[in-house]
Amino acid sequence: MRLRVGNILNRKGLGILCATAMFLLVACKDPNNVGIGVLPSSDLVGMVYTDTTTIELETQLIDSITTVSAQSDIHVFGNYIDPAMGSISAGTYTQFRFPNTKLDFGSPDSLRLDSIVLKLDVVGFFGRIETPQTMRVYEIAQSFNDTLKYSSKDSLLVKSKDLANGKIINRNTSVLSNVSVRLDNSLGERLLFAPTDSTIDNAMFLKYFKGLYFDTSPIKGYTSREPGAIMNISLQSGDTRLVLYYSKKDSSGTFPKKENKNYSFNVTAASKKFHTFKRSNFNDLLLGRELFSGERPHNYEFIQSGTLSQVLVTIPNIAALGKVAINKAELVFPCDPSFLGVKLGNNYRYSPPDLDMFYPDSTLRKPEKFFVDGTIGVPFNPTKATYTIPITNTLQGLVNGAEENRGFLIRPSSSSNLIANTPNRIILGGVNNAAYKPKLIIIYTTLPK
């Protein structure tokens, strides 16, 4: 490990350094109880500073993340092309239930279908909402597994017929609005004329009508820098529903000229649902060139929600510091501003608002636990274009051998389940990036052996 070490004070500080070290040795019965909690910031006297400790970063493309949460009913659909990370597609599987104890429209010969419409409450988006997208809606052919916690890579069998009939959404608009798609009448007739034994309760109904999957066709033919959008929908909102419009014969036995009834099927907390994220067409972009073009250049590292990529940070030679009290330690990750996108308010289009840091499990790919240094939701600094993660206590534990030195996993914050429902991403400078190289900054006191 190569260290560039310099005293913060002049030689007079050496005497204070020794006195401080002796104080630490005497005052701390617990040898692990050293660091920022022992020495207040006002007593940073004679400390040693380094910002050249060797650290290593490695981007990990994650196979899947859980995309259903009891804390959030936000799910996603759409297509989006990221200029550095590739094409992103998302789709949602969901059940629909009827609100009554029994579904009964009356005698089939007294009924006439008028239309069936899927309404989606769109509450947000990532990308360019004004790019027209072609909806696709399919009836699910495979029952949900009641015990499986579905993830972004999972899928269910669907029927082959696209019920959306080429419906284009967001044409000629830049205003966020709900999506309404008139579906093929074949589905409406299945529901309106469902066998009575399938409508006696929701359990039987979900065996008959297992739900819908919806997404959009891949984006093609658009020349903007980042066409398309991933849209967030609130499934359990009253504005998300499957509406059956139908007519019923009046007392004279004739149908009215226009539909005179409607019935809504809703997504409830009890409904099974999850969404998927997929990435494609990135081999020739920055992500592919960095990760899959022979020897890894380590100029950039990639963190992204949804189609998740995370970064493993390791400090291979931290034990070489020896017996020290860590007074302050920070990981600083600069970001290349050219990959931040346009500024939106106080932040930028692409950057995740916050990052979380975890201690990894033995696979070095899955989080085992949060660290203890307040690293839940470390915010992006839009002025400096950096994330700065405090690791004082954590690093002290590694130096002391209280924790196995597995490194740290950095990924977008799971706050409000944002990690699962947006493709926000940040491109960090890698260890070989001269302009945006990450640093581990340590201020410490050397203790007597």
Same domain, residue pair 134 and 240? yes
- The set of residues, in sequence order, having a beta carbon less than 8 Å from that of 248 and lying 6+ positions away, is 105, 106, 110, 111, 112, 255, 260, 261
Q: How far apart are CA 181 and CA 164, in angstroms?
A: 7
Task: Identify whether 276 is part of a domain.
Answer: no
Non-local (6+) Cβ contacts of 440 within 8 A are 51, 53, 55, 315, 329, 330, 331, 332
Report the pLDDT value the prediction gives residue 374, as an integer from 0 to 100: 60
Cα-flanking dihedrals φ and ψ of residue 244, to 5°?
Answer: -100, 120
CA-wise closest residue to 410 among 398, 422, 428: 428
Q: Tell me, yes or no, whether 186 and 318 share the same domain.
A: no
Tokens of 358: 């975890």
Q: Which tokens go with 239?
A: 């504005």
Distance CA 292, CA 288 (A): 5
In the numeric block, the tokens 């860590």 are attached to: 326
The predicted-structure confidence for 334-352, as pLDDT tens digits, reads as follows: 999 999 988 777 777 788 8
Domain boundary among 224, 241, 268: 268
pLDDT of residue 377: 81
User: Does any domain span residue 275?
Assistant: no
> Binning pLDDT at 50, 70 and 90, where does residue 5 land?
very low
Percent of the chain scoring above 90 in pLDDT: 55
pLDDT confidence of residue 9 = 34
Q: What pLDDT shows up at residue 263?
A: 95
Are 221 and 331 in a shared domain? no
Are 336 and 261 found together in one domain? no
Locate tokens 């696979």: which residue? 363
Distance CA 425, CA 444 (A): 33
Give the range of the structural domain holding residue 428, as residue numbers without chain letter: 6-63+282-446
Which pLDDT score is estimated for 446?
87
pLDDT at 201 over 70: yes
CB 264 within 8 Å of CB 144? no
What residues contact residue 250 under an 8 Å CB cut-off, 6+ apart? 256
Shared-domain flag, residues 228 and 287 = no
Residue 17, pLDDT > 90, answer no
pLDDT of residue 437: 95
For tokens 């799971």, the residue is 414
Provide the residue count of the chain. Answer: 449
- Over residues 223-251, mean pLDDT: 90
Output the average pLDDT for the chain: 84
Q: Are residues 12 and 85 in the same domain?
A: no
Confirm whether 1 is domain-assigned: no
- Total tally of structural domains belonging to the chain: 2
In 206-258, where do the E strands start and end?
Answer: 212-216, 228-234, 241-248
Which of 364, 380, 376 shows the shortest CA–CA distance to 413?
376
pLDDT at 192 over 70: yes
**Bridge partners of 112?**
247
Domain shared by 150 and 180, yes or no:
yes
Are 127 and 255 found together in one domain?
A: yes
The mean pLDDT value for 309-318 works out to 92
Is residue 48 very low, low, confident or very high in pLDDT (cuts 50, 70, 90)?
A: confident
Domain shared by 380 and 261, yes or no: no
pLDDT at 38: 45
Cβ(99)–Cβ(241) below 8 Å: no
pLDDT for the residue 372: 64
Whole-angstrom distance, CA of residue 216 vs CA of residue 131: 12
| pLDDT score of 43 more than 70 | no
Comparing C-alpha atoms, which of 123, 422, 89 is closest to residue 227? 89
4-8, 169-173, 383-387: range with highest mean pLDDT? 383-387
**373 alpha carbon, distance to own chain's centre:** 22
Other Cβ atoms closer than 10 A to 275: 29
What is the rounded average pLDDT of the residues 161-171? 94
Cβ atoms of 242 and 103 closer than 8 Å: no
Backbone angles phi, psi at 26, to 5 degrees: -80, -40
User: 365 and 311: one domain?
Assistant: yes
- Tell me the Ramachandran region of residue 337: left when phi exceeds 0, alpha when psi lies from -120 to 50, beta otherwise: alpha
Confidence of residue 223 (pLDDT cuts 50, 70, 90): low
Average pLDDT over residues 13-21: 34
Facing residues of 280 across strands?
A: 87
Per-residue pLDDT tens digits for 128-160: 888 999 999 999 999 999 888 888 999 999 999
- The last residue of one of the domains, among 242, 268, 294, is 268
CB 242 within 8 A of CB 180: no
| pLDDT beyond 80 at 312 | yes
Residue of higher predicted confidence among 369 and 364: 364
238 has a pLDDT exceeding 70:
yes
| Single-letter amino acid, residue 81 | I
Residue corresponding to tokens 């500024």? 343
Contact 310, 416 (CB under 8 A): no
- pLDDT tens digits for 111-123? 999 999 999 999 9
**How far separated are the first and last CA of the chain, in Å rounded?**
20
Given 268, 290, 314, the domain boundary residue is 268
Residue 278's nearest CA partner among 139, 131, 423 is: 423
Do residues 57 and 144 share a domain? no
34/447: higher pLDDT: 447
> Given a cut of 70, is residue 12 above it in pLDDT?
no
Q: Report d(CA 415, CA 305) in Å as an integer.
A: 12
Shared-domain flag, residues 185 and 288: no
The predicted pLDDT at position 84 comes to: 92
3-state secondary structure of 76: strand
Q: Is residue 374, in this structure, part of any structural domain at all?
A: yes
Proportion of the chain above pLDDT 70, given as a percent: 86
pLDDT in tens, 49-106: 777 778 999 999 987 888 876 557 899 999 999 989 999 999 999 999 998 888 999 8
